């Protein structure tokens, strides 16, 4: 239920600042039901696989999800990450690096079984990130060698006033830091 409410909130935030002047001409000719559906073309990112991976090997990687809102504070976002690559499974979600998004974002656990996840978060506090910030980390299990192709879509991004703000979505393989814990 929380995901449905969050999704409705983020759609409302994304649409709040839009007007007919912002809409493409072909959208204005559609019926209200058709006009409310906005097709978002996904960005394609290919992440190279390390060399020397055996065909039957299983490994885990972390994919960092960054949003860059320029000089505007980011209060809410909704995005999708998916992969059609074989031997790919999403196994976990972490929050981001800034305190506003340190908690894991909202997501549908069952959707992760289909190699896609929609992440959404909003923050009502005053301490919000601006510029480029890691908002989430996605843990994946990979089987065998080969590059993996990811499709990403930023569905909504908004400031603390609820107005739509421009942001750029980027994913990168995480460079996880080695633990400072001694080996036993």
| Burial group, residue 69, by CB count within 10 angstroms (0-12, 13-18, 19+) | buried
Report pLDDT digits (tens) over 127-158. Answer: 999 999 999 999 999 999 888 999 999 999 99
Q: Assess whether pLDDT exceeds 90 at residue 86.
A: no
The sign of the dihedral angle between the CA atoms of 30, 32, 33, 37 is: positive
Q: Assess whether pLDDT exceeds 70 at residue 179.
A: no
Could you identify the residue written with the tokens 């007007």? 19
d(CA 15, CA 177): 39
pTM: 0.74
> In this prediction, what percent of the chain has a pLDDT beyond 70?
73
Domains and CATH numbers, the chain: 2-18+42-173 (2.60.40.680)
> For the chain, what is the mean pLDDT?
80
Q: Which residues contact 16 (CB under 8 A, 6 or more apart)?
A: 158, 162, 163, 164
Report pLDDT digits (tens) over 45-64. Answer: 888 878 888 889 999 999 99
């Amino acid at each position: 239920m929380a995901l449905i409410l969050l999704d409705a909130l983020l759609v409302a935030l994304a649409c709040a600042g839009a007007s007919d002047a912002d809409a493409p001409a072909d959208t204005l000719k559609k019926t209200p039901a058709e006009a409310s559906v906005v097709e978002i073309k996904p960005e394609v990112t290919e992440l190279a696989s390390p060399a020397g991976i055996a065909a039957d090997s299983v490994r885990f990687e972390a994919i960092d999800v960054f949003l860059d809102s320029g000089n505007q504070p980011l209060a809410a976002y909704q995005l999708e990450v998916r992969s059609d690559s074989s031997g790919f499974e999403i196994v976990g979600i972490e929050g981001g690096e800034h305190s506003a998004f340190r908690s894991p974002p909202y997501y549908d656990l069952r959707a992760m079984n289909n190699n896609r996840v929609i992440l959404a978060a909003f923050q009502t506090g005053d301490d919000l990130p601006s510029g480029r910030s890691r908002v989430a980390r996605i843990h994946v299990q990979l089987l065998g060698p080969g590059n993996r192709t990811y499709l990403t879509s930023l569905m909504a991004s908004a400031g603390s006033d609820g107005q739509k703000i421009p942001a750029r979505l980027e994913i990168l393989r995480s460079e996880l830091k080695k633990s400072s814990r001694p080996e036993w």
